[in-house]
Amino acid sequence: MFSSSKQEKMSLSASRLLWPKTVFGRRIFVVIMILVTLFLYVAWCIVDDCVIDLSHGFGTMDMLKRYTQDDIGLNEQLKFVCEENFQDTRLYMQDKRQEDWKNLSMIYFVTPTYPRKEQIPELLRLGYTLQHIPRLHWIVANDYNSCNPYLNTFLYRFHIPFTHLSSPMPSQFNNAKAKPRGVSNRRAAMEWLRSRNITSGILYFGDDDNTYDLKLFQEIRDTKRVSMFPVGLIANYGISGPVVRKGKVVGFLDSWVAGRRWPVDMAGFAVNLAYMTEHPNASMPFVPGYEEDYFLRSLALRLDMIEPKGNNCTEILVWHTQTKNHEPTTVQISRDYLDNRSNLGLLFESLSNMGVAKASDRGGAKAIISKNGKSKPLSYFLS
Ligand SMILES: *[C@@H]1O[C@H](CO)[C@@H](O)[C@H](O)[C@H]1NC(C)=O
Ligand SMILES: *[C@@H]1O[C@H](CO)[C@@H](O)[C@H](O)[C@H]1NC(C)=O
Ligand SMILES: *[C@@H]1O[C@H](CO)[C@@H](O)[C@H](O)[C@H]1NC(C)=O
Ligand SMILES: *[C@@H]1O[C@H](CO)[C@@H](O)[C@H](O)[C@H]1NC(C)=O
Ligand SMILES: *[C@@H]1O[C@H](CO)[C@@H](O)[C@H](O)[C@H]1NC(C)=O
């Protein structure tokens, strides 16, 4: 028995070189192995996407929780209803009388907007698109700390029902590197819908600088819970939207995943308000880049619920056309000439009201007035 071969003993001692002798030593060994495995897993996750989304565990989820829990009630303080109009004064739409459309469910089209040179031209273009759509209520939420009186009257010209809200971004984000633009606006709009007890109809977030095909509205109007569709001109691919197989959404095409379960653009989905009402905690976080994702998570969305629109997501019915931002303009022109002797007084008053350009006696681009190809002093025209 004890004469077990020398060979056996040698191989045993060889394996014992790696395996610690004491119980404590073995435990330490196991812990080190687990740590090494974890380290390799984390390294793999950084290089590639992994099954369990670590980015969420380590940051985004915490951030989302913080921003969605702490700021409950924020909108109550920061939302002002500037003007509300429930009258649809269009007589005909697409050759039909208004009554002929009355059975359609209402679309609540939420447009976050902010003061800048392009604001009024963008809203003008969008307003005339929306004018073609029956049964639509336009919620225009302005990132501005008071009611812009110009917008109040401006919105009546489209003859459609609208709500004008003042919904400034909370000041704690003023110095943030990436600002959560449009969030307080959309939250204010949802708050307004709740305050008005509006629990039926379709909610759609439509920015003021997108281009909308009229067919989009017909498509989203029968959304049961959440519908989705491609958005053109997004990031690297020029497109973002669901991947559809056999009439079902199976994934998403979007060049920026970043751990988002729902990597879609804000303009790429619509929600039935009856469904949203079932989720009273539905909200949007003040986290740049994750607004859509977290909002859809807060609706307890599942992949199999999504209704693909636009001919099984083969058509592009909305485009993310961004207008280039222009620097604010100041035109140097003596105030003496901005009176009723010419159009210039009223013209510059309008430009100033719309936030496009200001007239100044001193700074700014010098106003040049010409005739027959030659510049002339203003006194030449106005004396
Ligand atoms: C609207 O719906 C009601 C009942 O749901 C129906 O009786 C009526 O004919 C419909 N009207 C139109 C214009 O389709
Ligand atoms: C909304 O509904 C609640 C409860 O049903 C009611 O107290 C409130 O007055 C309603 N508000 C409006 C604006 O209709
Ligand atoms: C979408 O695809 C499904 C399955 O191929 C088909 O049954 C359905 O009719 C399609 N829908 C549309 C609007 O084309
Ligand atoms: C909504 O949030 C409140 C407070 O955080 C929580 O008590 C409640 O359970 C939530 N409701 C749902 C339906 O998730
Ligand atoms: C222009 O303004 C002056 C004084 O402000 C006023 O007396 C005059 O009637 C105005 N003219 C016109 C055409 O409005």
Tell me the catalytic residues.
292
Q: How far is the CA of 274 from the centre of ligand 4 (A)?
A: 18
- Name residue 126's beta-bridge partners: none
Ranges of H-type helices in the chain: 6-18, 23-47, 54-55, 61-70, 74-78, 119-130, 149-154, 183-195, 214-220, 273-277, 291-298, 310-313, 344-353, 378-382
With a 6 A CB cut-off, is 197 part of the ligand 2 pocket?
yes
pLDDT tens across the length of the chain (383 residues): 444 454 554 455 555 556 667 888 888 888 888 888 888 877 765 554 444 444 333 445 555 555 554 454 444 455 799 999 999 999 888 889 988 999 999 999 999 999 999 999 999 999 999 999 999 999 999 999 999 999 999 999 999 999 999 999 988 888 888 889 999 999 999 999 999 999 999 999 999 999 999 999 999 999 999 999 999 988 878 889 999 999 999 999 888 888 899 999 999 999 999 999 999 999 999 999 999 999 999 999 999 999 999 999 999 999 999 887 777 789 999 999 999 898 899 989 988 988 888 999 998 989 888 888 888 888 888 88
Q: How far is the CA of 248 from the centre of ligand 3 (A)?
A: 9
Q: Which amino acid is it at 252?
A: F
Nearest CA to ligand 1 atom 4: 103
Residue 328 CB contacts under 8 Å (≥ 6 apart), including other chains: 117, 355, 357, 358
Ligand at shortest distance from the CA of 102:
1
Residues near ligand 1 with C-beta < 6 Å? 100, 103
Nearest to 329 by CA among 300, 294, 356, 302: 356
Q: How far is the CA of 335 from the centre of ligand 3 (A)?
A: 64
* 95 marked as binding residue: no
pTM over the 0.85 mark = no
Pairing of strands 92-93, 162-166: unpaired
Phi-psi bin for 98: left (phi > 0), alpha (psi -120 to 50), beta?
A: alpha
With a 6 A CB cut-off, is 247 part of the ligand 3 pocket?
yes
For residues 259 and 263, give the distance between their C-alpha atoms in angstroms, rounded to a whole number: 8
Nearest to 156 by CA among 189, 127, 116: 127
Cα-Cα-Cα-Cα dihedral sign, residues 245, 250, 252, 253 = negative
Pairing of strands 357-360, 329-332: parallel
Mutate to test the pocket of ligand 3, among 219, 223, 227, 312 (most ligand atoms within 8 A of CB): 312
Residue 240 CB contacts under 8 Å (≥ 6 apart), including other chains: 230, 231, 234, 252, 253, 254, 255, 263, 264, 265, 268
What would the two tokens of residue 145 be? Answer: 């700390």
Mutate to test the pocket of ligand 1, among 103, 104, 105 (most ligand atoms within 8 A of CB): 103
Phi-psi bin for 80: left (phi > 0), alpha (psi -120 to 50), beta?
A: beta
What would the two tokens of residue 36 be? Answer: 């090494």
Nearest to 285 by CA among 260, 256, 305, 267: 260
According to the model, what pLDDT value does residue 375 have? 87
